[in-house]
């Protein structure tokens, strides 16, 4: 296995001292190492992977140095536009090293949302003409791989990628793991929201543990799953799915259960929601100030005014709640107006949290039948 420190030191030795990206579970030990060890002005956990690519470009323009960006392969799509229209040698020719965590690698069992992305991870790099090397726990000559990568990067002034297989990095526990204050867990908040909703209410939940918790809570309360659309991939897009449903199903309440990292990843969606202002949509952001589902790296969500953003985007009712009674009170007094509720929750999840047992297609079919009622 590769020690995160060794990898980080090799990057430094090759002149790379700036890091930007979105955390990933496969890269979590390396992400944690950067979070703890890179000076804060040299590390930005970006809103999305496209932003990371642009931050890297800006750093290169300002310093002449080669930055590093990191992401889960789910983020390749977010990176594609700035990679091809900004960093590509046919445009501004920006050198950078790209680290991509390979979820859904063919032959390795993974969740359904990772399967297709896993199959095309390297094909996408081929199509973009970004050369890459696959790193594994067995990679012995990492220094040589770095030399080869930087020989290309420096000669062509262009991006080069390392595709990282599961289990490549040795353990590293995040030290800079600030406790995020909260009176309730994300799961407790979801339970209250789920139980407060009426029979015909529709749920759209975000990527990561929130959807897994909603699934398990339905089981715990012997409820079926047809009310829930689990946005298992497509991080940041749950709110737009919910908006579109709310506009078509005006007689029914639609609850979007969102995460703070996901909300920030596609924050423009709030403006679209506000401009349409469906009265039946309740957009709830469970703010734990972290990318909890992939290792707990911090987001900036506890440092910005999410409610202020929602208000200025046109949400009619905007509330921030910190305690279970406050949450219950908001849920039992919902008005027929576009509502935004920011719920401050703790980081962390149950160790024995399971995963949905039905397939995405089964989930969608049952959900569409429920919407048609």
Ligand X SMILES: Cc1ncc(C[n+]2csc(CCOP(=O)(O)OP(=O)(O)O)c2C)c(N)n1
**Token code pair at residue 341:** 């509720």
**Angstrom distance (rounded) from CA 132 to CA 161:** 4
Judged by beta carbon, residue 25 or residue 358, the one nearer ligand X is 25
CB of 68 to ligand X, least distance (A): 17
Query: Which residues from 185-224 bind ligand X, rule CB under 6 A?
Result: 186, 206-210
51 binds ligand X (CB under 6 A): no
Q: Assess 184 for contact with ligand X (CB under 6 A).
A: no
DSSP 179: P
Q: Does 78 bind ligand X (CB under 6 A)?
A: yes
Residues 274-293 that bind ligand X (CB under 6 A): 288, 290-293
| 75: contact with ligand X by CB under 6 A | yes
Closest residue by Cα to residue 168 from 1, 312, 37: 1
**Least distance between ligand X and beta carbon 206 (Å):** 6
Query: Least Å distance between CB 180 and ligand X?
Result: 10
**Element at 293 (helix H, strand E):** none
Beta bridge partners of residue 93, listed in sequence order: none
Q: Map the footprint of ligand X across residues 224-253, applying CB under 6 A.
A: 235
Q: Are 228 and 354 spatial neighbours (Cβ–Cβ below 8 Å)?
A: no
Among residues 126, 95, 356, the alpha carbon closest in space to that of 219 is found at 356
How near is the Cβ of 133 to ligand X at its closest, in Å? Answer: 22
Residues 19-38 that bind ligand X (CB under 6 A): 22-24
The residue nearest ligand X at its CB is 259
The residues, ordered by sequence, that sit 6+ positions from 260 with a Cβ below 8 Å of its Cβ are 285, 286, 287, 288, 289, 290, 299, 301, 302, 306
Lookup result for tokens 């089964």 = 362
Nearest distance from residue 238's CB to ligand X, in Å? Answer: 9
**Which residues in 134-173 contact ligand X (CB under 6 A)?**
none
Binding-site member from 82, 259, 269, 298 for ligand X (CB under 6 A)? 259
Residues in CB range of 238: below 8 A, 6 or more apart: 204, 205, 206, 207, 231, 256, 257, 258, 262
CB of 95 or CB of 236, closer to ligand X: 236
Antiparallel, parallel or unpaired: β 159-164 and 228-230:
unpaired
Stretch that binds ligand X, among 8-16, 89-97, 221-229, 259-267 (CB under 6 A): 259-267
- The minimum distance between CB 137 and ligand X, in angstroms, equals 21
* CB 314, min distance to ligand X, A: 22
| 294 near ligand X (CB under 6 A) | yes
Is 372:252 a contact under the CB 8 Å cutoff?
no
3 state SS of 152: helix
Q: Which of residues 158 and 264 has its CB atom nearest to ligand X in the complex?
A: 264
* Chain contacts with ligand X (rule: CB under 6 A): 22-24, 72, 74-75, 78, 186, 206-210, 235, 259-262, 288, 290-294, 299
């Amino acid at each position: 296995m590769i020690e995160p420190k060794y990898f980080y030191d090799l990057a430094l030795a090759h002149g790379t001292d700036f890091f930007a990206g979105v955390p990933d579970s496969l890269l979590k030990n390396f992400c944690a190492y950067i979070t703890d060890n890179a000076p804060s002005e040299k590390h930005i956990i970006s809103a999305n992977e496209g932003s990371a690519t642009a931050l890297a470009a800006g750093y290169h323009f300002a310093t002449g140095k080669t930055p590093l960006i990191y992401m889960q392969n789910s983020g390749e799509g977010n990176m594609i536009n700035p990679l091809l229209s900004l960093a590509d040698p046919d445009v501004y020719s920006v050198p950078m090293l790209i680290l991509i965590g390979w979820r859904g690698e063919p032959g390795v069992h993974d969740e359904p949302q990772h399967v297709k992305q896993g199959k095309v991870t390297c094909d996408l790099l081929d199509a973009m003409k970004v050369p890459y090397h696959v790193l594994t726990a067995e990679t012995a000559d990492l220094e040589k791989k770095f030399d080869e990568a930087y020989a290309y990067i420096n000669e062509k002034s262009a991006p080069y990628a390392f595709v990282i297989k599961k289990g490549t990095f040795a353990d590293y526990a995040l030290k800079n793991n600030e406790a995020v204050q909260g009176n309730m867990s994300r799961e407790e908040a979801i339970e209250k929201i789920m139980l407060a909703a009426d029979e015909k209410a529709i749920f759209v939940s975000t990527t990561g543990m929130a959807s897994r918790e909603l699934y398990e809570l339905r089981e715990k309360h012997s409820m079926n799953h047809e009310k829930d659309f689990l946005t298992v991939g497509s991080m940041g897009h749950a709110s737009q799915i919910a908006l579109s449903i709310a506009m078509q199903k005006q007689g029914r309440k639609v609850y979007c259960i969102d995460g703070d990292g996901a909300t920030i990843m596609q924050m423009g969606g709030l403006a679209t929601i506000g401009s349409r202002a469906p009265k039946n949509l309740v957009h709830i952001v469970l703010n734990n100030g972290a990318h909890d589902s992939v290792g707990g790296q911090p987001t900036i969500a506890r440092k910005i005014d999410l409610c202020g953003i929602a208000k200025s985007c046109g949400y009619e009712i905007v509330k921030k709640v910190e305690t279970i009674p406050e949450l219950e009170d908001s849920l039992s007094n919902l008005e027929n107006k576009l509502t935004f509720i920011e719920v401050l929750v703790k980081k962390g999840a149950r160790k024995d949290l399971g995963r949905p047992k039905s397939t995405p297609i089964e989930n969608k079919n049952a959900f569409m039948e429920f919407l048609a009622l």
